[in-house]
Amino acid sequence: MGFFDFLKGPDINQGVKEYSTTDDAVLLDVRTPDEYAAGHIPGSLLIPFDEIKVKSDQLPQNKNTEIVVYCRSGRRSAIAADTLISLGYAKIYDLGAVSSWTYGLEK
């Protein structure tokens, strides 16, 4: 580990790779519908960060399901992760910014 490694955020590419190999995991895009329509990681579910509580019926019933969240810059995904934890979800992974995604986005 290098001296400045603590400055690095989560690696969204590695996180999505791990998500894709985990049974029943959910990849959650917490941006706006317009941002999602402009391009999102394939296989992701859209629930805007400020609608998670009211749309919780779209989330897995099993609170131990791994939920991987991302947004545009990392701010909303952090808020979403806190909200999911407050709803009782135990395995939340905040990948931060979709701008760090190096593979193609789906429209």
Which residues participate in catalysis according to the annotation?
Answer: 71
Strands across the sheet with 26-29, in order? 45-46, 26-29, 66-71, 91-97
Helix/strand/coil (H, E, C) string of 15-77? HHHHHHCCCCCEEEECCCHHHHHHCECCCCEECCHHHCCCCHHHCCCCCCCEEEEEECCCHHH
